[in-house]
Homo-oligomer: A and B are copies of this chain.
C-alpha cells in the first residue's frame, strides 16, 4: 500500500465524514506528566472512525457491484460505518453481528437501514456466515480491517492528525491507537510515515487481547486465546490481519496493553476533562497515555479516541471510577 491510496480515499470522503477535533486539557496533562492530545473520533458520524473505512470501501466499488449491495461482519462500529455508507448510496447492506454486541450498536445498525444477522461469538464463525450470505445474494463483502480500501479510509485519521499536531507544534510523539485487527493502526501509520515521520504509531490493546503487541514482539502473527470476555468489544479480534500486520511490523513501535479498569478510568477522565463519551475499546489508547507514562518518552503523546458507542450500564461503570483519578 502507498500513501496515494489514502489521499484518494480522503478525496472521496470529503464532505461525507467529519474532520474530528484534536482535544486537550491541562488536567490530562497533569495525570500523564506530559502534554496529551486526543483525536476525538468518537465525534465522527456513527460514533467511530469506522464511518471512514466504510465510506472508503463502498465508494470504491464499481457501480454494478455497489448496486447489488454489501455485507459486513462486525461487533458494531464497522457495522454502522458500512450501513451508513450503503444507505447514503441507496444500496442494500447486510451486517453479521455477534449476539453479545452492545444493544445500542445493534439497534443503531438497524436504524441506519441495514439488515442485521446475529451469531454466537464463542461458537460461530462469522467469516463463514458472511461468505455464505454474500454468495447467495451477490453481495460484496466489506472486511472490517484486512482490506486496502478500508485501511486507506481509516488512514485519513492520520492525514488529519499530521496537520493538527503540526498546528499544535507537536512533531515528535508517540501516537497511541486502539488496535483490533489493525486497520486504523496500519492506516494511521502509513499516513504519518508520509506526512509526519516524527510521529510514531504504537498499538494499544486490552489485557487478554494483546495479539498485536505479541505479534509485533514475535515478528509473526500470533492469535488471542480468548474470543470474548472483555468490555472492549470494539477491538476483540482473533489476530492482526495479513495486510495490516506487515505494515504495523514495519512502522509501529512496541504495543501497549491496558487493563479494563484503566480503560474505564480513561473513560471517566475523558468525561470529566474533555466532555466526550468513549466506549471501553475506544479508550485504551488514552488509558495507556494517562496510566502507562513510563512506557513513553518525550514531552507529548497523542491518543486516538476511536469510538464512543457505549450503553448507559457500561458508562455507569466508568462514572463509578470518576473519583479514582486525580
A200-208, A228-236, A308-316 - interface stretch: A308-316
Q: Are B23 and A43 in contact (CB under 8 A)?
A: yes
Interface size bracket, A side: 20 to 34
Identify the closest chain B residue to A278 (Cβ).
Answer: B275
Indicate if A198 sits at the interface (CB-CB under 8 A): no
Q: Are B112 and A26 in contact (CB under 8 A)?
A: yes
- Give every chain B residue within 8 A of A21 (Cβ-Cβ): 18, 20-21, 43
- Give every chain B residue within 8 A of A312 (Cβ-Cβ): 268, 271, 319-320, 322-323
CA distance A271 to B26 in the complex (A): 23
Indicate if A276 sits at the interface (CB-CB under 8 A): yes
- Give every chain B residue within 8 A of A43 (Cβ-Cβ): 21, 23, 40, 43, 274-276
- Give every chain B residue within 8 A of A40 (Cβ-Cβ): 43
Q: Are A108 and B27 in contact (CB under 8 A)?
A: yes
Indicate if A47 sits at the interface (CB-CB under 8 A): yes
Contact with B along A292-326 (1 / 0, CB 8 A): 00000000000000001101100110011011000
- Give every chain B residue within 8 A of A111 (Cβ-Cβ): 26-27
Indicate if A163 sits at the interface (CB-CB under 8 A): no
Q: Are B108 and A275 in contact (CB under 8 A)?
A: no
A selection of 23 A-B contacts at a CB cut-off of 8 Å is: A18-B21, A20-B21, A21-B43, A23-B43, A26-B111, A27-B108, A27-B111, A40-B43, A42-B275, A43-B43, A47-B275, A268-B312, A271-B277, A271-B312, A275-B278, A275-B309, A276-B276, A276-B277, A277-B277, A312-B319, A312-B323, A315-B319, A319-B319
What residues make up the interface of A, taking CB atoms closer than 8 Å to B? 18, 20-21, 23, 26-27, 40, 42-43, 47, 104, 108, 111-112, 268, 271-272, 274-278, 308-309, 311-312, 315-316, 319-320, 322-323
